[in-house]
Amino acid sequence: MKSRRVLGFDADDTLWHNENIFEQVHERYRALLARHHDAATVDRTLFATEMRNLELYGYGVKGFTLSAIETAIALTDGRIGAEEIRTLINLGRDMLSHPVELLEGVAETLAMLAPSHRLLLITKGDLRDQQRKLVKSGLGAHFEQVEILSEKDEAAYASVLRRHQVAPQDFLMVGNSLKSDILPVLALGASGAHIPYPLTWGHERTEELPDAPGRFFELGHIRELPALLGR
């Protein structure tokens, strides 16, 4: 096992904005179906469809778009028109081509840490879309390895650590999701630095609070990470 500190970074809503793009599309989706159902019903039904389809479609824009079309057909009793479905497809296409907008301080912080730490990008979602965003972000050169996973749970992290010969005590995961980025690595004996994002997708919300003194850290901004590592 290598003893040099290894840092894992989540991508969406940790390095670049993502959930705000989905929220903008949700607003347009509610408006599209407003004459059929109220916003709460639309949101609740779409989320249930996404959860039902998650095992088949996985995470990402493509799965969301298919679930949005399925939900629209169900909520309109099949009366939704071809032009409205075309609108949903175009919304998905727009999301897949949306510019990558880095969170403040990300580029400088990674550049500061890369010379003295092994940096791994560990994200989940659609392979092609995540690869596109990484290229567009300009951050790729900072990462020794990139892992795009179908799920981020304890077993997946354990596999990543074995693959890269990293001991849990030498690993710190940085991310915005307690459920996907922090709790699984803490369970393995590694450390986690949580940097909340203003918006959280329902599937990523958890009431479970980490109980790992000395291994769990709550940060207000990624710029605080070098000082944490210095301690």
Contact (Cβ atoms closer than 8 angstroms) between residue 88 and residue 69: yes
Domain 19-96 in CATH 3.40.50.300: no
Q: Sort residue 143 into left (φ over 0), alpha (ψ -120 to 50) or beta.
A: beta
Task: State pLDDT tens for residues 107-153.
Answer: 999 999 999 999 999 999 999 999 999 999 999 999 999 999 999 99
Instruction: Give the pLDDT score at 99.
Output: 96
C-alpha 27 chain-centroid distance: 20
- Residue 201 phi/psi, 5-degree rounding, is -60, 145
Contact (Cβ atoms closer than 8 angstroms) between residue 39 and residue 123: no
Instruction: Give the pLDDT score at 151.
Output: 95
Band (pLDDT 50/70/90 cuts) for residue 208 is confident
Which CATH superfamily includes the segment(s) 6-16+101-230? HAD superfamily/HAD-like (3.40.50.1000)
Distances (CA, A) of 81 to 47, 63, 91, 116, 185: 22, 21, 16, 56, 46
Task: State pLDDT tens for residues 217-226.
Answer: 999 999 999 9
Separation of alpha carbons 176 and 161, rounded Å: 20
All structural domains of the chain with their residue ranges: 6-16+101-230, 19-96
Band (pLDDT 50/70/90 cuts) for residue 206 is confident
Instruction: Give the pLDDT score at 4.
Output: 62
Task: State pLDDT tens for residues 40-65.
Answer: 999 999 999 999 999 999 999 999 99
The stretch 19-43 carries a mean pLDDT of 96
Q: How many residues does the chain have?
A: 231
Q: What percent of the chain has pLDDT over 70?
A: 98
Instruction: Give the pLDDT score at 1.
Output: 34
The stretch 156-172 carries a mean pLDDT of 97
Instruction: Give the pLDDT score at 3.
Output: 45
Band (pLDDT 50/70/90 cuts) for residue 209 is confident
Nearest to 100 by CA among 34, 15, 40: 15
C-alpha 174 chain-centroid distance: 12
Nearest to 9 by CA among 162, 131, 201, 144: 144
Mean pLDDT (the chain, rounded): 95
The model's pTM: 0.92
- Radius of gyration of the chain, Cα coordinates, nearest whole angstrom: 19
3-state SS of the chain: helix, strand, coil percent to 5? 50, 15, 35
